[in-house]
Amino acid sequence: MKSFNPPKRLLLGPGPSNLSPRVSNAMSQSVLGHLDPDFVGMMDEVKAGLQYVMRTENPVTLAISGPGSAAMEMAIVNMIEPGEKAIICQNGYFSSRMREMIVRNASIPVDVIFEWGKAIDLTVLEDTIEAHPDAKVVCVVFAETSTGVQADLKSIADLCHKYNRFLVADAVPALGGSVIKVDEWGIDVLFSGSQKCLSCTPGVSPITFSDRAVERIKNRNQKVMNWFYDISSMLGYWGGNQKRTYHHTAPIHSLYALHETLCMIQEEGIENRWKRHVEVRDYAHQKFAEIGLNTLVPKEIQMPQLHPVLVPEGMDDLVIRKTLLNEFGIELGAGLGPFAGKIWRIGFMGENAHTSNVDFLVNALQQILVKY
């Protein structure tokens, strides 16, 4: 074996996004033990930074070891007991994954099915909530990267409070790019990933639990089925004091990276970051239209950080993506499910959410598409 030297890529897919040099430098720092007092102090700062980005004061806010799917599983196994019903809004690939986790938890999914690429119909959701008073948890994907659709999370949270239900929200691609206000909207559990709008290395996942969600977990009839993701045992390590109980060996350098990206977000200001993503989305809409490219969903329901762009009729999705990668060093995401081969999932996330990247991509696409 020889040392691996990866080629330089501009990652304009659904994640990961490129890292800032500051984040890369943070990952080159010396290793500390995961119970070292200086490392523990940094963990407290990570927690505070996540509370800032999520707009919450929830004490149970942490970054778990694992990708966004691990945070999804943590939310499911803690909030839903085996045998319990849970309402799951399904309108894309990742909501289907959440449903699968509910089933594997020996819980009962109550499906609210919407067409891929369409918004969640609040009236249909409300009717389902009313029809299933024994389903205490509602699960929703806030920003569905398979379609680019962003849900009206505030209105969904309002419905959950109206009927005294708990809301579990997947914000894996959204945190740091879409407006999220956990406390103001009253979201019970919200989780994300590190590698998208946070522009951090993959492998750590922010998650937060409201006080009433914690109370529900404390009053469970059964232990959480998954040992590693039982939040009650993990809190001994992320509990917010200098004396930490060993739970597992944390990904030291990934947390260094997350700490640095949270510093950068605070320096920019979360409201400014939200605004930047919207401005880049609007600019990209304009530039795509100028070269004859259309998006799958209207801008009104499209998330700021991901564009589901329709592959022009008669053109080969794979050939164009390979040409972009090989000739321009640009990576785009392929379509999933019913949209496989039909859309490109183009992300301008975090570090990559700048109009200069839109221009670079559009120029490359113009050079390729003119050959067809």
Residue count of the chain, please give it.
372
What pLDDT score does 244 carry? Answer: 76
User: Is the predicted pLDDT of residue 240 greater than 70, yes or no?
Assistant: no
pLDDT digits (tens, 9 = 90+) for 196-235: 999 999 999 999 999 999 999 999 999 998 999 999 888 8
**All domains of the chain, ordered by start, with CATH?**
10-14+270-369 (3.90.1150.10), 21-266 (3.40.640.10)
For residue 192, pLDDT over 90 is answered with yes
Interaxial angle between packed helices 93-104 and 68-79, expressed in degrees from 0 to 180 and rounded to the nearest 10? 40
Question: What is the enclosing helix (H) or strand (E) of 109?
Answer: strand 108-113
Average pLDDT score over residue span 234-241: 76
pLDDT of residue 239: 74
Distance of CA 14 to the CA centre of its chain: 10
Express as a percent the part of the chain with pLDDT over 90: 93
The 10s digit of each residue's pLDDT in 127-145 is: 999 999 999 999 999 999 9
The model's pTM is 0.96
So what's the pLDDT on residue 247? 87
Residue-wise pLDDT for 310-343, tens only, equals 999 999 999 999 999 999 999 999 999 999 999 9
Q: What is the DSSP letter of 309?
A: E
Query: Does the pLDDT of residue 68 top 80, yes or no?
Result: yes
Q: In b/e form, how buried is each residue of 28-41, taking b as 16+ CB within 10 angstroms?
A: eeeebebeeeebbe
8 has a pLDDT exceeding 80: yes
pLDDT attached to residue 200: 97
Does residue 229 sit in helix, strand or coil? coil
Q: Does 241 score more than 60 pLDDT? A: no
159 pLDDT exceeds 60?
yes
Three-class DSSP category at 360? helix
pLDDT, tens only, 174-183: 999 999 999 9
The torsion angles phi and psi of 10, rounded to 5 degrees, stand at: -100, 110
Check whether 160 has a pLDDT greater than 90. yes
- pLDDT, residue 5, reads 96
Q: What is the mean pLDDT of the chain?
A: 96
Query: Residue 274 above 70 pLDDT?
Result: yes
Confidence band for 242, pLDDT divided at 50, 70 and 90: low
Cα angle for residues 280, 284, 286 (degrees, 5° grid): 120
Q: In this predicted model, which residue has the larger pLDDT, 236 or 84?
A: 84
pLDDT in tens, 103-127: 999 999 999 999 999 999 999 999 9
